Structure 1
Amino acid sequence: MSLTHTEVTAELEPCGKREHPDCGIRDVLDRVGDTWSVLVVVELSSGARRFGELQRAIDGISQRMLTLTLRRLERDGLVERTVSPTIPPQVTYALTDSGSSLTHLIRALADWSIEQRPAIAGARQSYDDAHPGHSIR
């Protein structure tokens, strides 16, 4: 863990206590850790995009899910929606300063994932071999 992480966690009370039921971390991580949110942030990290461009770039996302994800990110102040007064109106989405500050964290997680992929695949195979017929995926 980084020094910064250690400093932050040393100051936080554990979540789940009766007098401290939710320290707020879960709420934020639910948003920024959501698969679709991460992919939207990755796509917008290179600049503003239109809805259709985002949908084509993010494999497997439905129109409804992209709409919900963009609205949630906008509500959280991570994405800005801009409507241009043209006919038909042109809508673009871009990261806010707060959203942009998230990109280095996502990139670090992606780099870690790539680096750890072989070890994780090996651990999964070992687990599967030791527990034949399990349903964990």
Structure 2
Amino acid sequence: MGENKKNTIKCNLASVIHVIHILKGKWIFNIWIEISNGNNHFGTLLRSLPGLNPRSLAHSLKTLEKENIIIKETNSLSQQSTYNLTEKGKSLKCIFTDMNIWADKYA
């Protein structure tokens, strides 16, 4: 019986559901990948993700900003905005890597 207690996964279900809620957007993962690969301008993101429309991109970027996964920085001279991963956003890499490993094995 002691063995079962050692194998019990302890997690805060509300926290896990919150993460799933954040990442469930159709384009969120793809946008995260593009920004992590250096495609960090609105137009570049739009061109690199065929099928994504400007309204959906803007909504997804706002969601990622609100959740502090990305930060929008605007150059005061050119008024051009760039999107970069925050430390919180960079930390998602391990989650996505683990999900990829799991998918390769079981999906």
- Compute the TM-score of the two structures, normalised by the length of structure 1: 0.63
User: Aligned pair 1:52/2:43, yes or no?
Assistant: yes
Unmatched 5+ residue regions in structure 1? 1-5, 16-22, 121-137
State how 1:85-124 maps to structure 2 within 5 Å. Answer: 85-87=76-78, 89-113=79-103, 115-116=104-105, 120=107
Distance in 1, Cα, partners of 2:11 & 2:18: 18
What is the aligned-residue RMSD (CA, Å)?
2.2
Residue 27 of structure 1, CA deviation: 2.5
Distance in 1, Cα, partners of 2:70 & 2:11: 29
Distance in 1, Cα, partners of 2:59 & 2:34: 16
| Equivalent residue number for residue 75 of structure 1 | 66
| Equivalent residue number for residue 131 of structure 1 | none
Identity of aligned residues (%): 24
Q: Which amino acid aligns with 2:86?
A: T
Unmatched 5+ residue regions in structure 2? 1-6
User: Aligned pair 1:62/2:53, yes or no?
Assistant: yes
Residue 95 of structure 1, CA deviation: 0.5
| Equivalent residue number for residue 19 of structure 2 | 28
Residue 62 of structure 1, CA deviation: 0.8
Q: Secondary structure at the match of 1:64?
A: helix
Q: Secondary structure at the match of 2:51?
A: coil
- Compute the TM-score of the two structures, normalised by the length of structure 2: 0.79
What is the CA deviation profile of residues 7-39 of structure 1, one whole-angstrom value per residue up to 9, with x for unaligned ones? 7x4253xx5xxxxxxx24322211123231111
Q: Secondary structure at the match of 1:80?
A: strand
State which structure, 1 or 2, has the greater radius of gyration over its C-alpha atoms: 1
Q: Is the 8 A contact 1:79 1:96 kept in 2?
A: yes
Residue 109 of structure 1, CA deviation: 2.0
Task: Mark the CA change 1:39 to 1:68 in structure 2 (over 3 Å): closer, same or farther.
Answer: same
Residue 107 of structure 1, CA deviation: 2.9
| Equivalent residues, number | 101
